[in-house]
Structure 1
């Protein structure tokens, strides 16, 4: 492995992002296709099964990364702390080449010295003799287990076990991915890339079950970013007992004052600034009264008593497809999403009411030396997950012009950039007959948002030209196309404690915005 340089790393990172986007889109497409066949309330598809099928289809289309190179060491574009939800996803990325085996290796025919070389290991507690101490791992070799995962016979020095021994002999580093139980809307566990380790010792020992097993001592190479598994555990503790791990720095444990479903922390261990406390918290955008007709029982709404499905009126409003899957994940970005409203007969649990359910993930506003005030999540955010509304006081063009003449600066939703997600849902590289859906034109979003006195947590999200959060316009409580709600979704899998970022548009525009919020 070599240092590819900042510019090349950026290009590789973008390639990783697009590959993961195809994988997630394909996996959700397969899930939704089966859901359509089973009907509303029918049996849901197994997530891991569709994850495997999506990976196989991408392999057949030659879309796996680094499959022809089999890189030893770090994978360009994959960063320490990156989160994955399925083993097949690791294969697609080239991070771990086998969907089941815990040890991935190059065979002797592919190695320059004619001997097998280990490239990566997955540490998930699959062997009773494993001992994971973080930076040091006592890793058990593979083989000898029965169908129930019990050690039933002696292990042999072959395959992955031999490759581990040879990598130790030659001092070759291996990638370590940890598999952790983590309940989320995508799967029951996550896989976290924790960086490069060296195998410093190996021996044959009698395991707890009385059978011989190979043991390997792995030590993490210094100078790398903090392990993602450590950050994951740290964030989990912050949600339940924050003062036990961060006794100083907390200013407030809920700046929303109960207006959100979950509390929003305020943290500053840098200086004495407490600015976010000086504003009234606004959970939803406030629109000018009398500007549009609110939805009512007389308005057109769906009659889907058990939840919206195929043939629904609201599905027709969305160009023939509901925008979300059954986990509330945004399937693809649209110019505008029509969610079910008060005139609809469907229950609150309907999958077409995602943004109305409010904040579900624990967010923290924090003080940063780089960006002033910023926002991070204490939960894993999967690609397409709803985060929150960008809330302020909506102003008409005339009202905005008056404030601007007085020297005040405003946020303009029409200037938010979502170019990164234009290809989300495009499966033309996998499905030969795939056609991108076409959407009707909508009037330009023609309002400004004043956040100088009332705002919510989203207003502290920092600007970036390489954002991990995107904007999606949504209607659900009124019918004015020019005044949609501004909803924020994760543009990629975002690990806990990672700063959230938005592309506010042209530099000259967002400088003024940051003067208000930071």
Structure 2
């Protein structure tokens, strides 16, 4: 088991100008406050009649240790707050005041069960302060790394599925609103609920260096998710640090920074970063005051003094991101130099030179840029290794690359590409006529297909899977709704660019050239379906099949909020009989057949029906269980063998 090493710091006599230019000691500067970075995207415009303020700078020279102010923006735009206290709000000097004795009871719209659960889950109590104990985790074995990775994966899955649920419930509520209220911030509410339930990670120790379970290259869409997993503990500030009030020696210590280009004097060369300290900017991100060696700036200087590494997370805008930005963990850096300089705007700024530590995997931000170039000019980026630029032969709307720079094996070229599963003809005889919805403009919650799903659609308006279910009914060819219907997600084929590649570790594998968001549809697992009797005859000839009943029920993990809601019940409707068929992929297959096996997969199998009504023969649709960065291998849990089916075959 890995060990926790306490970092007992015994400093030399404090020298606030250590490592800095002597001009810092003589330059007289006015007192300023730490500059906060904006949230992932601007909050919705509130009702102007309520006089809700915009975000105000924090008035403390250092962040409040217990971080109760993290959710102030969410609290201000919370629908419950607006509903329960609308009659008691008073505006004064751009701040919103409420009567502490307000007990007004006002009518509220009827809420769904999920909304009631979310409302109950956000009951707030005083949060305990973050730990002031600095530790470094070392000597992790293989089993330790798997354990922490699984804990991290499950925590992120709860966050993502809870955020998607919040957005889906908000969309449902707004569809009945005559006057549209502000949209709920799913990222903030999910983090708030998880904090209330004690599900934030790494709160009992302040970890220096790598966070167990977080890999270099991991991608996050929201700043609050960084707080949830303990990678960066500040919701807005770019420098996370142990405050002087918490530190045993009275000096702040920096542990992580976010490099997002928010300061004009920043320089980012990848392995070397010139990082500008915080403070001195106005609301338009213009440098208007001198910076001071205090708070996070002093924490950076002290970390350099003690030789403490910092985690670097890069944030930048990314097309297709849920928040418009992505945050990529790029590993550990040493602060090797600090000085005070005159910035481009003519004001004094602190600068810190960060150098990436050796023996780390490639930076995630570099991989994102590499994949972006690969999508547009593949031969310029990788002149050799391409076997085909589309093994689907245009059967998919997006080409599927085949890449092999290991050997001369071109096996995937020898199979017919099956974009959809081939079912026996008798499958379509059940419910072949009628059975579809009569929606014209678009489906609503009371349409026939929604009722087959238990009254709710399985996807939100962005096509993300809200919650895994035993079976999902999508609108099909007998429905009157348009192709843009919210309930037609998995039948539309590929949305992302993929490549099948040759690997020395796993044989053949699959990776995406795009960033895939958790809950997104990936592709169908296709082949030729055989009945049990046909499968038994087939295997007598020595051939092997893929058996869908072995994939297990990973779908139940996506949307499993049992740690959030005490009355959570795993979905059991609609019930599905055991999958009693095999799938022959020896002649026809698609890219999914090359996904590697993993007991900790990033892809799940969700059963879906849309083109027929025979629940014994569903489509095997694959969805992302987590945010999957470009060039990271996709993996499935193929399960274990059973008595009559023999050993599980994997295409590799």
Mapping 1:65-464, distance limit 5 Å: 65-184=201-320, 186-293=322-429, 298-419=433-554, 421-431=555-565, 434-464=568-598
CA deviation map 1:52-71 (0-9, x unaligned): 12212222222211123121
What RMSD in Å do the two structures reach over aligned CA positions? 2.0
CA spacing shift, 1:222–1:41, aligned 2, 3 Å: farther
Q: Is the 8 A contact 1:103 1:122 kept in 2?
A: yes
Q: Secondary structure at the match of 1:2?
A: strand
CA deviation map 1:248-303 (0-9, x unaligned): 1111111011111111000000111111111111111111223332766x512222
The alpha-carbon deviation at position 512 of structure 1 amounts to 5.2
Q: Is the 8 A contact 2:558 2:625 kept in 1?
A: no
CA deviation map 1:452-479 (0-9, x unaligned): 1111111111112221111111100001
CA deviation map 1:342-381 (0-9, x unaligned): 1212211112110011001111100111111111111111
- The aligned residue for residue 629 of structure 2 is 495
TM-score scaled by length of structure 2: 0.76
CA spacing shift, 1:169–1:507, aligned 2, 3 Å: farther
Distance in 2 separating the partners of 1:183 and 1:295: 42
Mapping 1:36-51, distance limit 5 Å: 36-39=172-175, 49-51=185-187
User: Is there any run of 5+ residues in structure 1 with no aligned partner, and where?
Assistant: none
The alpha-carbon deviation at position 425 of structure 1 amounts to 1.7
Q: Which moved more, 1:396-405 or 1:225-234?
A: 396-405
Distance in 2 separating the partners of 1:386 and 1:53: 24
Distance in 1 separating the partners of 2:348 and 2:647: 64
Q: Secondary structure at the match of 1:513?
A: coil
Residue 484 of structure 1 pairs with residue 592 of structure 2? no
CA deviation map 1:396-436 (0-9, x unaligned): 222222211111111111111234x4233233433455554
User: Is there any run of 5+ residues in structure 2 with no aligned partner, and where?
Assistant: 1-135
Aligned length: 513
CA spacing shift, 1:93–1:482, aligned 2, 3 Å: same
- The aligned residue for residue 15 of structure 2 is none
Distance in 2 separating the partners of 1:445 and 1:391: 15
Q: Is the 8 A contact 2:471 2:574 kept in 1?
A: no
- The aligned residue for residue 470 of structure 1 is 604
Q: Is the 8 A contact 1:301 1:340 kept in 2?
A: yes
Distance in 2 separating the partners of 1:475 and 1:129: 55
CA deviation map 1:307-329 (0-9, x unaligned): 22322221111122211111111
Q: Secondary structure at the match of 2:419?
A: coil
Q: Secondary structure at the match of 2:240?
A: strand
Q: Is the 8 A contact 1:391 1:455 kept in 2?
A: yes
Name which one, 1 or 2, has greater alpha-carbon Rg.
2
The alpha-carbon deviation at position 502 of structure 1 amounts to 1.1
Distance in 2 separating the partners of 1:214 and 1:185: 32
Distance in 1 separating the partners of 2:306 and 2:226: 25
CA spacing shift, 1:93–1:415, aligned 2, 3 Å: same
Distance in 1 separating the partners of 2:400 and 2:295: 50
Distance in 1 separating the partners of 2:412 and 2:239: 48
Distance in 2 separating the partners of 1:510 and 1:491: 28
Q: Is the 8 A contact 2:257 2:310 kept in 1?
A: yes
Q: Is the 8 A contact 1:81 1:228 kept in 2?
A: yes
CA deviation map 1:96-119 (0-9, x unaligned): 111111111001233343210001
Distance in 2 separating the partners of 1:209 and 1:314: 60
Q: Which moved more, 1:121-130 or 1:35-44?
A: 35-44
TM-score scaled by length of structure 1: 0.95
Distance in 1 separating the partners of 2:376 and 2:251: 49
Distance in 1 separating the partners of 2:516 and 2:177: 26
The alpha-carbon deviation at position 24 of structure 1 amounts to 1.2
